Structure 1
Amino acid sequence: MTTTTPAPAPKPMSRRELEARIIAKAWKDPAYKQRLTSDPRGVLQEELQAIDPAIKLPGALQIQVHEENPNLFHLVLPRNPNDVKLSEVVGDNLEAVAPQTIVVLVAAAIAVVVNAAAAANVNAAANVNAAANANSVANANSVV
């Protein structure tokens, strides 16, 4: 009797990792770069399906490729997580949200947790220092 082990779940990939993968391929392979510039949606769909075959790009999602040169710099401004409704992220239709928005939302949530933890640590340290200082003053006063 042969048992098959289920395939491992695909490793989550951040937007930066996906972009780096695509850029590296374009730099190495001129034919891939040509396909990327002429059919960015098709290439992105292929890359996403290589990660997880179930991923489908939303039909309305537009994809543009911009190539920098010595006289042209591109700055990409992702969607502001504050402008994304919770219903766009939580619900049955996750395909309605661009993948980068989900990554940005997760990163923003992590940043909030990290900042809250850092603030709690600073407050705890301040409380410990204040208590130590108060004890030092009390001890110093009792010695005199």
Structure 2
Amino acid sequence: MSSNETLKAQIIQKAWEDEAFKNQLIANPKAALKQAFGITLPDDIKVKAVEETSTEFVLVIPTNPAKVLVTSNAVESIW
């Protein structure tokens, strides 16, 4: 498991175990991540957290790699 996958798993686990964190993560993801994990994201990066239910699922369509200009200075994606 990569470090990004490990971090994502830790965030999900904390949300399952800590209702207050989960609510903050949904309402203000950047603040929740900074407070709980010390992660500071640039202002131009947007983060959205949603909770799936037994009847509602989320399908994330990632950026098309063919449409992304890759440079040697590109910022690594968190996920």
**Is TM > 0.5 for Structure 1 vs Structure 2?**
yes
Distance 1:79 1:37 in 2: 22
Q: Please tell me whether residue 81 in structure 1 is matched to residue 59 in structure 2.
A: no
Aligned-pair identity (%): 32
Distance 2:3 2:26 in 1: 22
1:53-92 to structure 2, matched below 5 A, reads: 56-87=40-71, 90-91=72-73
Name the TM-score, length of structure 1 as normaliser: 0.45
Q: 1:74 to 1:31 in 2, by over 3 A?
A: same
Amino acid at match of 1:81: P
Name the TM-score, length of structure 2 as normaliser: 0.74
1:110-129 to structure 2, matched below 5 A, reads: none
Gaps of 5+ in 2: none
Distance 1:66 1:43 in 2: 13
> 1:61·1:98 contact (CA, 8 Å) conserved in 2?
no
Q: Which structure shows the higher helix fraction?
A: 1
Partner of 1:35: 24
Distance 2:66 2:45 in 1: 20
Amino acid at match of 1:61: I
Partner of 2:3: 13
Q: Which has the higher contact order (CA 8 A, sep 6+)?
A: 2
Distance 1:13 1:45 in 2: 17
Q: Report SS of the residue matched to 1:86.
A: coil
**Offset at residue 98 of structure 1 (A):** 6.1
Amino acid at match of 2:3: M
Q: Please tell me whether residue 99 in structure 1 is matched to residue 48 in structure 2.
A: no
